[in-house]
Amino acid sequence: MVSLKKLIPILTVTPLMATLAFTGVLAIYNADKTVDELSRSWMKESVMQIKSQVHLNLRQPEIIYKLSLNRYQSNPSIWKNTQNLTINFYNKIRFFPSVSNIYFGSPNQEFIGVKLNENGQFTQSYSGENTDYQHITSILDRNGQRGQVLSKDSVFNPTTRPWYQAAQKTNNLVWSPVYPHFTTRQLGITAAQAVRDRQGNLVGVLGIDYFLNSLNQFLRDLPISKAAKVLIIQQDGQLIASSDPDPLTLFDPESETHLMITQSPDPMVQKIGEILIAKFSDFSLISEPQSLIFYHNGQKQLVWVEPIENHWNLHWVVVVALSESNVFHPAKKRTIYIFMILAATVGSALAVWNMHQLVVSPLLRLNTTAKQLKNRRFKPEKIADLVKRNDEIGQFSRVFEEMALLIQEQQSNLEKRIEQLSTYKTKASSSEDTENSPELNSSYWDYLKQKSQKIRRKTPLEKHD
């Protein structure tokens, strides 16, 4: 048989450890699940902010067009007044910092534009009948007035430009594909819309060049960008904006190449591009939010992909890739695991010690007391504290004490009887010297008979069938 000293701790610790192990596994699973849910919630919230900012930025050309159209309807001759158009465009660029260039081309090949250059200088470009349609660029002062001529280029015909031809076919705002600017190496996009009179005749086309660098800065300023890669891509896979400072174009002396997502210098971004291509094959097929999981360098990556719905027919997609280690670092996981193991060990030790104090130790004391009782060395005061307990151990101790006292009493009575019988035996032996005296022998046996009857009356025996 196994000793209680070993059995009770085993029976106590085993379920406790099993429960702690199960609880630990469940806690780890729930922690991972919670991290995933929090990460997705964080990414979805960030995507909503990005979509709102994109809509806000892309509405700027619409606002500029509506302001210009209202001005034209109140004064149709404005489109023929070069100086008024120059000041009007100059003020709008100053008010909308992401707009770099506003220009207007007419069917009679007149062209007027105002541009904010990379060095912060404003210039005016003009061509028309007065210049023999030669493209002339001049500096603008702080009041929008034309100053020094910077260059005179060859004949320029705005009606042959893609933005003009696309806009004159519709009454809606049209957008060009995203393109890299050759001198600034910034990505930009052009919005153009036809200007018509009340009869629907084409007066000209208003074009607006919009730089996307403000989107890059917005993505970098997002709180999630400190832990994730945030991208905006076109349906063809070209990068539009990124939270990383890496350039989105490849510079070449003869041309500027717009980077695809798989051409990014960041291996992580390249991996995201490969995963998306393998999943969708064509980014234009992304019509609803998608959640993906992949591993990069042994780290779990959570990806949220969502298209930007808009009425401009721009097929842009937001991609947010969040590394789980940036949300819940593995070192923190290891710390929690170690803490759980230590807590389980300490808890088990305390449980065993408490069980030993409450159950095992009293039982061992009662076992020792039973041995003392066998050796006739029982002392009730040795278990006095156990007798005072109100639990099962106390009840057992009180019963044990009563049994021990009863046994002691019976042992004492038995010893006395044995002593009496021994005395009687001694007296019987001494009577052998008086064999020749029948009277003495008869008297002695009468004496023994009387004593026997007295003893029987004191301890009557029950008859058994």
pLDDT at 123 over 90: yes
Q: What is the pLDDT of residue 90?
A: 93
Return the number of other C-beta atoms located less than 10 Å from residue 352's C-beta.
17
Q: What is the pLDDT of residue 459?
A: 45
pLDDT, mean of residues 270-280: 88
The segment with the largest mean pLDDT, out of 107-116, 289-298, 411-420, is 107-116
User: Any idea which of 173-182, 199-208, 444-453 has the lowest mean pLDDT?
Assistant: 444-453
Q: What is the pLDDT of residue 165?
A: 93
More confident residue, 181 or 417: 417
pLDDT at 290 over 80: yes
Q: What is the pLDDT of residue 358?
A: 63
The 8-class DSSP code of residue 168 comes to: T
Q: What is the pLDDT of residue 331?
A: 46
Alpha-helical segments (H) within 75-173: 82-95, 162-167
User: Any idea which of 59-63, 205-209, 370-374 has the lowest mean pLDDT?
Assistant: 370-374
How high is the mean pLDDT of the chain? 78
User: Which residue type, as a one-letter code, is found at position 406?
Assistant: L
Q: What is the pLDDT of residue 301?
A: 87
User: Any idea which of 76-85, 95-104, 256-265, 402-411 has the lowest mean pLDDT?
Assistant: 402-411
pLDDT at 1 over 50: no
pTM of the model: 0.61
Q: Write the DSSP string, 378-396.
A: --GGGGHHHHT--SHHHHH
Instruction: Please list the residues that pair with 31 across neighbouring strands.
Output: none
User: Any idea which of 65-79, 84-98, 275-289, 446-460 has the lowest mean pLDDT?
Assistant: 446-460
Q: What is the pLDDT of residue 439?
A: 47
pLDDT at 442 over 60: no
Pick from 129, 107, 100: nearest CA to 195: 107
Q: What is the pLDDT of residue 247?
A: 75
Q: What is the pLDDT of residue 395?
A: 74
pLDDT, mean of residues 376-386: 70
What are 93's two structure tokens? 């660029």
User: Any idea which of 189-203, 222-236, 284-298, 431-445 has the lowest mean pLDDT?
Assistant: 431-445
Contact, 20 vs 27, CB < 8 A? no
pLDDT at 446 over 70: no
Q: What does the pLDDT look like over 330-352, one tens digit per residue?
A: 445 555 666 666 676 676 667 66
Q: Which domains does the chain have, with CATH numbers?
A: 32-56+225-325 (3.30.450.20), 61-214 (3.30.450.20)
Q: What does the pLDDT look like over 220-272, one tens digit per residue?
A: 999 898 888 999 998 888 899 999 887 777 655 555 577 888 888 888 889 99
Q: What is the pLDDT of residue 127?
A: 92
User: Any idea which of 27-36, 161-170, 190-199, 346-355 has the lowest mean pLDDT?
Assistant: 27-36
Dihedral over Cα of 444, 447, 452, 453: its sign: positive
pLDDT at 31 over 70: no
More confident residue, 1 or 201: 201
Q: What does the pLDDT look like over 85-101, one tens digit per residue?
A: 899 899 999 998 888 89
Percent of the chain whose predicted confidence (pLDDT) is above 70: 70
pLDDT at 328 over 60: no
Contact, 155 vs 134, CB < 8 A? yes
More confident residue, 39 or 182: 39
Residue 218: band (very low, low, confident or very high) from pLDDT cuts 50, 70, 90:
very high
pLDDT, mean of residues 203-230: 89
Q: What does the pLDDT look like over 6-25, one tens digit per residue?
A: 555 665 666 666 666 666 56
What are 238's two structure tokens? 């070209």
Q: Residue 293 belongs to what H/E stretch? A: strand 290-296
pLDDT at 453 over 60: yes
User: Which residue type, as a one-letter code, is found at position 231?
Assistant: L
Q: Where are the beta strands (DSSP E) in 25-167?
A: 99-105, 111-116, 122-127, 134-140, 146-155
Contacts 24+ apart (CB under 8 A), 341-347: 343/20, 344/16, 344/17, 344/20, 344/21, 344/24, 347/16, 347/20
Q: Where are the beta strands (DSSP E) in 311-421?
A: 316-323
